[in-house]
Structure 1
C-alpha cells in the first residue's frame, strides 16, 4: 500500500483509522460478514457459522475519501 494514490483527488497522503460500532453488545469496531444479509425471527442478522473479518479503513488527507478493506479474520 506504499504506492497508494487517492482515486478521487490524487493525494498521496492518508491516515489509518477504524469504523466504530456502538450498538448493544458491540465490540467497539465494525466487522465484515461473508454472505448476503439473512434476518432472523426478531429482525437481527443471522451470524452463526459465518466468517467475520476485521474492517480496516484509511482516510485520504486531501479530500477525506475512505478506503475500506477486510483482510484479516476477526
Structure 2
C-alpha cells in the first residue's frame, strides 16, 4: 500500500478508538445515511457493521481508512 497524499510507502497500522458508552473499544463503519432514533442516537438495528482499519503515513501523517467485516 502507498499513501494517496504523498505516495509514501511506509504506512503504520493502527485503529480508530471508540470509547463511548457500551463501546467495544474500536470504531465501526455502518453503510447508508445517518438516521437518528427517537432519542437522537444513530439507528443501527439490522445494519451490518464493519471494523475500521487505519494506516498512518509516517512521511506526511495522512490517515488511510479501510473497512473489513466484523470477525
For the aligned residue pairs, the C-alpha RMSD in angstroms reads 1.2
For structure 2, which runs of at least 5 residues remain unmatched after alignment?
none
2:46 corresponding residue in structure 1: 49
In the alignment, structure 1 segments of 5+ residues that lack a partner are: none
In structure 1, C-alpha distance between the alignment counterparts of 2:31 and 2:5, rounded to whole Å: 28
What is the distance in 1 between the residues matched to 2:4 and 2:29? 23
Instruction: Write out aligned runs for 1:1-74 (5 A).
Output: 4-73=1-70
- SS of the equivalent of 1:22 reads coil
Per-residue deviation, residues 15-50 of structure 1 (Å, max 9, x unmatched) = 100000111111110000111111001000111100
Output the CA distance in 1 between the equivalents of 2:70 and 2:2: 26
**Structure 1 moving runs of 4+ over 4 Å:** none
| Distance apart, 1:14 and its partner CA | 1.0
